[in-house]
Amino acid sequence: MTDYTPPAVWTWDTENGGKFASTNRPIAGPTHDKTLPVGEHPYQLYSLATPNGVKVTVLFEELIEAGHDFDYDAWLINIGEGDQFGSGFVEANPNSKIPALVDRSGDAPVRIFESAAIMLTLAERYGAFLGKPEDRPEMLSWLFWQMGSAPFLGGGFGHFYAYAPEKLEYPINRYAMEAKRQLDVLNRHLEGRDWMAGDSYTIADMAIWSWYGQLVLGRLYDAAEFLDVASYANVVRWAEAIDARPAVKRGRMVNRAFGEPELQLHERHSASDFETNTEDKRAAE
């Protein structure tokens, strides 16, 4: 570690920032003009299969699996290439973060951004995955626990452990401690429970699984051994149960542009795309 004295006024150093430096900047707004594509379905999702994106695609697939009669288009937003700063995407989400949903089911398009807002909107519309009315305060508490906690896991631990330009002991230790504290919160809560709130699977489970479930399943930051995730047995059990759900398997694939080609479905426009349009199938054409 080296000593650092902050200047009186901070200025942006474009050479500093690690793997994602080219997509990070201290201002908002678009960098270029780009109209978002629009498909034929009532819901137009613009996203990437990061944990925040996976939350929404899992919910879409769970709703369809449960028999709700609708479909959606999912368009890939490649944040590594700056797609989130296109004018169309900024119009859909002024915060330039995935996911963004445009609901075109009514007379005028309606934008919804922030993953929890999208999930709540859809769950309330279809009356699904909200749990019993008496369990809703608990469900909402855990849903927003995830929204408040995950930045310490992703932007904190994940950044300094996996993506920062150099390994620094203090921030890695600081955020590893917090990540393990959060896993312990979940592990204690899931003792003797199948789900996060009440006796049913809800959007709180989906949202938390996308981050913490995938972490204990070894899919985030290559950090499973470092964080000793196997010691959180209740979280592992819960994560494996969710991971086995067919809709979750499909939801993980949507807007995925990394990893195994057979699990990458860059765009999703119909249920048949899972069988015909994954990257391994496209490469074989």
Q: What is the DSSP string of 13-35?
A: -TT-SGGGGGG--S--S-SB--P
In a domain, 22, yes or no: no
Q: What is the pLDDT of residues 29-80, one digit of tens each?
A: 999 999 999 999 999 999 999 999 999 999 999 999 999 999 999 999 999 9
Query: Is 126 within a domain?
Result: no
Enumerate residues 6+ apart whose C-beta is below 8 A from 267: 73, 74, 75, 76, 255, 273, 277
**pLDDT value at position 15?**
66
Tell me, yes or no, whether 234 lies in a domain. yes
Token pair of 85 as six digits = 């700063």
pLDDT score, position 285: 84
Strand, coil or helix: 73: strand
Q: Is the dihedral of CA 202, 266, 249, 160 positive or negative?
A: negative
Report the domain count for the chain. 1
* Structure-token pair, residue 224: 């499973």
Q: What is the pLDDT of residue 17?
A: 64
Identify whether 256 is part of a domain.
no
- pLDDT for residue 3: 83
**CATH code for position 234:** 1.20.1050.10
**Hey, how many other C-beta atoms are within 10 angstroms of the C-beta on 79?**
18
- Identify whether 229 is part of a domain: yes
Residue 60 · residue 122 · CB < 8 Å: yes
pLDDT at 1: 59
Residue 20 is predicted with a pLDDT of 72
Task: Report yes or no on 214 lying in a domain.
Answer: yes
241 lies in which domain range?
133-249
- Residue 233 falls inside a structural domain: yes
The reply to whether 244 falls in a domain is yes
Dihedral sign, Cα of residue 113, residue 140, residue 158, residue 240: negative
At 16 the pLDDT is 63
pLDDT 10s per residue in the chain (285 long)?
A: 578 899 999 998 876 666 777 778 899 999 999 999 999 999 999 999 999 999 999 999 999 999 999 999 999 999 999 999 999 999 999 999 999 999 999 999 999 999 999 999 999 999 999 999 999 999 999 999 999 999 999 999 999 999 999 999 999 999 999 999 999 999 999 999 999 999 999 999 999 999 999 999 999 999 999 999 999 999 999 999 999 999 999 999 999 999 999 999 999 999 999 999 999 999 998
Residues facing 110 on adjacent strands: 103
Query: Do 89 and 102 touch, CB atoms closer than 8 A?
Result: no
162/211 Cα distance (integer angstroms): 15
